[in-house]
Amino acid sequence: MPHAPVSVLILRPLDELEPEGARPARGERNRARGAAQDPALGRRSVFEVLDLSLAILRDHFALMVGLGALAWLPLRVLQPFIGAHVWEPSIGRGAMFGPGLAGLVNTGGAALAECLGAALIAQIVHAALEGREVAPGALLRAVLARLHVVAGVALVTAVATVAGTCACFVPGLLLSWKLSAAPMVCVLEGRGLRQSIARSWMLTRKGLWRWVFLTVMVAAIVGPFRGITTAADWQGARAQALAWTGLSGTTFDIVYVLVSSLLLGVAIALHASTLTVYYADCRVRREGADLELQRAQLGTAEVSS
């Protein structure tokens, strides 16, 4: 459905205008940026989705990366105590209980960190798309109250994707695409497990190759951030790093925890930002969400005038 551009001009008396060259307040700049980036502009291409995601990340970098790193921090703090280097001396003697338990903790903790970080960042990105301000404290309380539902959606999505990937890869790719919007539906619309999956299935009715291209580009960008952290977790990596840097074990562990948390925070911030903008674009294409927002903006302009 073609979308005609709509412009709204609000005229004010000259004595209410700011002096030329005056710098607007931060809140006004964010609202103006949100008005320029909201779904009222219609459908977006893959490059426009990625560009907008990066722009929002740049404008809210400290908050988004900080929340992402905070979500990962508890698990990263455990690594000096349960990491691969702890079990290296005992693996050769057949002691597998410790490494197995550490693997379960790492897997579950990583999934929980991804859920929490993505949920927090999605709220910030969605507010930026609509030109709204968000309070981090209220945002954290709202996400924690629904974290179990978000974790359930993420678990079902991960299990379905892995199972489909094991079945000759193609079903896994299709399921990953069809369920890609489910976490955002759960977080931003407050839907339950079944409703989130059903709406994601509907919103991603078309555009497989658009999603594939976007996913590949995001993976290429965040790959180095995740790759550095993964390499640092390998067996022997800690001993080699200590030999290269000459740092003490305690100092290295502190630096390792902070740096790895920040790197993973950047990765999850970009991934969640892109997924949220993609979700908003799917709503524009399938539900005409841009028209609803245009009507709301016009109604607000009429009331203010």
Coil vs helix vs strand at 74:
helix
* Residue environment code for 270-282, b if the CB has 16+ CB neighbours within 10 A, otherwise e: bbbbbbbbbbbbb
Coil vs helix vs strand at 202:
helix
Specify the pLDDT at position 24.
Answer: 46
Q: How confident is the prediction along the chain (305 residues), in pLDDT tens digits per residue?
A: 455 455 444 545 444 444 444 444 444 444 444 444 444 456 889 999 999 999 999 999 999 999 999 999 999 999 988 887 777 666 555 567 777 788 888 888 898 899 999 999 999 999 998 888 888 888 888 888 888 898 999 889 888 888 888 888 889 999 999 999 999 999 999 999 999 999 999 999 888 999 999 999 999 999 999 999 988 888 788 888 888 988 888 899 999 999 999 999 999 999 999 999 999 999 988 887 655 555 555 555 555 65
Specify the pLDDT at position 11.
Answer: 47
User: Which amino acid, one-letter code, is at 282?
Assistant: C
Specify the pLDDT at position 301.
Answer: 52
The Cα 250–Cα 253 span in angstroms is: 5
Residue 260, Cβ density class (10 Å: 0-12 exposed, 13-18 middle, ≥19 buried): buried
Specify the pLDDT at position 210.
Answer: 93
Looking at residue 40, what DSSP letter applies?
G
